[in-house]
Structure 1
């Protein structure tokens, strides 16, 4: 996989839901976790000083 390839937001969201579901199989959870590790980090907004 190339360094610039990232999981889309929609796929990351679905992967998160699969990981939270207790009925999801271990194999599916493994793939979902892999997708989430490739998802871009959420940007934190810096607080502005007055």
Structure 2
């Protein structure tokens, strides 16, 4: 499937970007942008909500760091 190859390539580029952002070529930046923009809009929001609920898990309400 073409999407699988694109996803693997985008993941590899994202990993490279985290290690050395200045090493990305303009083509790699475009690939990452296209990958992000091709995701369903609600997919990112669901992941973000899960991350937020896990981030504060275990802390009593009202006791979060300021």
Using the size of structure 1 for normalisation, the TM-score is 0.48
Higher relative contact order (CA 8 A, sep 6+): 1
Using the size of structure 2 for normalisation, the TM-score is 0.40
Q: 1 or 2, which has the higher helix percentage?
A: 2
Q: Which has the larger radius of gyration?
A: 2
